[in-house]
Structure 1
């Protein structure tokens, strides 16, 4: 089997559980004769490097940025992984399986391409092995959860979990957390593999406590220190070694190390707290061998490798019950489990064990880990799960993060032709270029083109319409009194005879691949009513504007899609999405999208720049100002109040973290950076 593993950490990197997992998994699959490729982002790679190490191909890359692609770091990282996978597929054919972490959503772009029926990706099974997703950890860490781009990173993670063919969790604890956040998510529990090291040499345990892990709130480092302070003040003499990477302490605007240096300075001076950076597994082994007790005070954790390492070194372990550790430790036999508020009392109990009791508990801990994480048995469980996925049918429902009921949607046909409606008003210099782009569509696409002249007044435009009527086949031109863009679109839709309906402004263009792929998506999925794509600017700007599947709450905060050029199931547009003429200054297409969402219609973004959006000085969108935007957003909320009320809390958080809607144009970057792209 050709097995490709996407990861953000891989040995010799140390200090993270993802690196440990990726190294062990790659080696395990290689040992069983599979052709393994590891793709890892590495800032030190200086471009892209491929090496074969012990039979495993490792591709390290560092180059991310495309100056024309308006994506911030997490989204650009996901895009880069998909591009490398694409390059490999073109060069050597597809793999039999791709596995990725969920963390940072690195598989999101690949999965978006797969689920929008990209022929390169659509038939490749993709599984996600969950570690500790950012969207679950950030609230516990009191991080700026709703601030861009962190909020969007969480959305990329959520979509990755929803869109994968299969999801594996190493612990039942994490599975429960995932399914609570993403109801109806199917998650298979398979422990992470771990190869127990050789029997540790008998050494004299020292009266020392050991914490290994990042300095983070969710890891419980401050809970541990607060539990130890009363013990130390009462004469307890065991010092604490803290080994791991530093992290931001968001509520204090500093780092954890700096905070600990300040708050616990008396205990640092006495040598009761000793801070160490992250160290290699070999160096860490010496700490485990000497520790009298290893503490895992987590507020939330999956199944930390620190636990497995400590137990394999026959350490006495004290762990809170907030994580997968409670599935491995048998309380009082192979370690101690406690609630966070009883941490100090349990540490005291653990440190009072006799040498014989320590030895017995350590031996039972090692035996327990060897059984729980046996690589060979885990490999068999994982392969059984993979085999169950390999020959499954493509799902008929698009993976929506937060599905809304759509049982009341009117039934529609999925067979028939495409109607393309072009609203037109005094755009004579551009119309023929727009129509020329439609003439490049595949001849197999059955279509009609409807141009709605909304009462044009200039001679050039009227002459252009006459020429278009003579020159372009399958094109019908209707002339109406000037009533505005919303009514022009609605009029064109009412004249359309196709099963599928597309709008295209008279100064824009489309790639010939757009409509056939959009129609294929609409035909394939039972829960998709409209399809958009990324936008390639042209004219006075040449950036690519990425678009997103329109899901609340972000879709209620800012327009996520190229709404002036979507492809619809015509009957759903007529029933739920006709443009509202009251939106006279613009955003009529955005309000239409939100109204369709409120009726249970779902939309999809093809992650390709198939729509060419002309940027010109006097376009309608260039007439926006703060006053008319505030007015239009107020109308949108008033017209869709029920849906906005449903997400009121989260919308408040988004506003509080990012400012008003009109100051934001892209959720993958912090709002202030957007000025650089204007």
Structure 2
């Protein structure tokens, strides 16, 4: 089997639980004869670095090839670069049997988009997503602002990546239960396959240093270290004399306090640090950390939430006593009192009782529990056993005959509220695309617009130019175009607004599909073909958009994102003048002709979506928009824009009410929808452009993350911004 693994963490480039999983999994697969390729990104290199050992090939790829650093936020850019790089290798190699992707930060988002949209080389991929650490869930526990952009959109990427996968695996049932509501896991078949770990065949040294109590872990809320210190504070105040040793990185931001964990602990628990009761070693090299583990009497894993922590497996395989919380997949590993101990954060007294019980064990009783722990990990989580389980899941999927999926995996399901028989009755020519071009004194610009449609790869097309308020010269241009192109008809609709012209053109259309095009814009040659393919494939997709390449007075890109509630109810997430529709779906709503001052195209999409006629965005620049001064909504005053927002909100207040809690969260975290731009990026404002600042941020991100003092400076800057 040809197996590709996509990950942000892989040794020796990165550490952590995902890295450990990937290392064991690649060796497990390679040992069973599979050809494994690992893709891991590096923003600092300009050319891919490839290394091979046995059946394992590691591609450390340059994650800056697309040139989209200015237009996509960090997480979206990383996902986009993954998809781009995979596409490069798909073009020159045979297709892999399986592509495995981590859920963390939604790195498979664009890869899965390409697959579902039927892109060449991607459409036949079988994509397996392993749930490791959904950042959205952990951010909530870490008291982070989950509605603040771009974190909110990263969460949306994670949700889609899980819902859109072919095979979904989780190492613990606990994590699937925690994700069930936000990630709609009730709609997916999730198979629990524990993570593998390589264990020595010989029993480890079971000796220990009595009353040596250790916590291994990062000092973030979700790992439970702060609760643990509070538990020990209570014990110390009662006369408990044994210290707590914390081994792990404390240079993490505590978002609710706006301070680094290290500074917070040193400030709040100074008394106990000075007394030697609270010992902070910081992050240690592996060999040093192992020396502390060898001496440990008890290792505490106090997670507030966890999936399947390797810290538990690694500690148990060393024959150490683990005292772990019930808030994690460790409850599926540890049998309380036999091979470890469990406590419950809901009942803090359970921690005190269990710790006292452990410390009261005789040396032989402690070694017996350590022996049981080692044997469980050796027998139950060894690669041979895990491989057999995992390969059964994969083989079952590959051997099952499946019909083409006609339902697109939206994050939020919106039921259709109009019965098919009540849709506007209108005869149409199957497979025909009608392109409606409203025309108001656009001069020679329309020539380029029309030619872009004529030159499209989709040839079954009619072009309807709706002429309104054109001067004599412009009218002559239309007459010449009508003579030159038999596909083109000119429809006169004098004294009409844009809304009226679009509706009029749609009503005159003969096609099964409908597209609008401004007279000074144009389309890429394959836009209509790709959009119609998606409309034909999915019953629940009623319109298709794309990213936009900007020309004229402003160069660059407009990154459209999926128009799903709640975010798109605050901010138009796509170029809604450039969509391709199922004609019958559009005619069920049309443009609101009372909206004469702009945003009628956005309101149309809100209206359609409220009725269950939802759409998608193709993640590439297939539409070319000419930017001129005072065009459309850009010339509206703030008051005018607020009026239009209010009109849309009141017209669709039931739809908005369905999402009121999320809408309030986004507004409180980011401010008015009028100021929102690209949800994949930080909502920059000020002297420099968002594109420039985002590019700068991406370049500096990894450097700042590794430097304690730069982190402190960044915290002050963020605090001042807020």
Q: TM-score range by the shorter chain?
A: over 0.9
The residue correspondences of 1:111-130 to structure 2 (distance < 5 A) are: 111-130=112-131
1:630 aligned counterpart, secondary structure: helix
Aligned to 1:94: 95
The residue correspondences of 1:200-599 to structure 2 (distance < 5 A) are: 200-246=204-250, 247-340=252-345, 341=348, 342-390=350-398, 392-406=402-416, 408-410=418-420, 415-442=430-457, 445-456=459-470, 458-576=471-589, 578-599=590-611
2:581 aligned counterpart, secondary structure: strand
Aligned to 2:712: none
Output the CA distance in 1 between the equivalents of 2:419 and 2:247.
56
1:196-222 deviation per Cα after TM superposition (whole angstroms, max 9, x unaligned): 235322433342211112111111111
Cα deviation, residue 67, structure 1: 5.2
1:417 aligned counterpart, secondary structure: strand
Work out whether residues 15 and 245 of structure 1, in 8 Å CA contact, stay in contact via their aligned partners in 2.
no
Output the CA distance in 1 between the equivalents of 2:638 and 2:580.
30
**Count of residues in Structure 1 that have an aligned counterpart in Structure 2:** 675
1:597 aligned counterpart, secondary structure: helix
Q: 1:23 to 1:394 in 2, by over 3 A?
A: farther
Cα deviation, residue 409, structure 1: 4.2
2:180 aligned counterpart, secondary structure: helix
Deviates more, 1:509-518 or 1:405-414: 405-414
The residue correspondences of 1:608-619 to structure 2 (distance < 5 A) are: 608-619=620-631
Output the CA distance in 1 between the equivalents of 2:404 and 2:77.
27
The residue correspondences of 1:4-153 to structure 2 (distance < 5 A) are: 4-13=4-13, 15-43=15-43, 45=45, 47-64=47-64, 66=67, 70-153=71-154
Aligned to 2:642: 630
Cα deviation, residue 677, structure 1: 4.4
2:620 aligned counterpart, secondary structure: strand
Work out whether residues 44 and 62 of structure 1, in 8 Å CA contact, stay in contact via their aligned partners in 2.
yes
Task: State the TM-score, normalized to the length of structure 1.
Answer: 0.96
Work out whether residues 421 and 492 of structure 1, in 8 Å CA contact, stay in contact via their aligned partners in 2.
yes
Q: 1:624 to 1:350 in 2, by over 3 A?
A: farther
Cα deviation, residue 606, structure 1: 0.8
Aligned to 1:651: 663
**Structure 2: gaps spanning 5 or more residues:** 692-722
Work out whether residues 299 and 322 of structure 1, in 8 Å CA contact, stay in contact via their aligned partners in 2.
yes
**Structure 1: gaps spanning 5 or more residues:** none
Cα deviation, residue 388, structure 1: 2.3
Output the CA distance in 2 between the equivalents of 1:68 and 1:228.
46
Work out whether residues 114 and 122 of structure 1, in 8 Å CA contact, stay in contact via their aligned partners in 2.
yes
Output the CA distance in 2 between the equivalents of 1:310 and 1:552.
44
Work out whether residues 326 and 343 of structure 2, in 8 Å CA contact, stay in contact via their aligned partners in 1.
yes
Cα deviation, residue 69, structure 1: 5.2
Work out whether residues 106 and 154 of structure 2, in 8 Å CA contact, stay in contact via their aligned partners in 1.
yes
Output the CA distance in 2 between the equivalents of 1:609 and 1:566.
13
Task: State the TM-score, normalized to the length of structure 2.
Answer: 0.90
Q: 1:333 to 1:202 in 2, by over 3 A?
A: closer
Output the CA distance in 1 between the equivalents of 2:14 and 2:550.
43
1:482-513 deviation per Cα after TM superposition (whole angstroms, max 9, x unaligned): 22111110010000111111111111100121
Output the CA distance in 2 between the equivalents of 1:24 and 1:430.
59
Cα deviation, residue 550, structure 1: 1.1
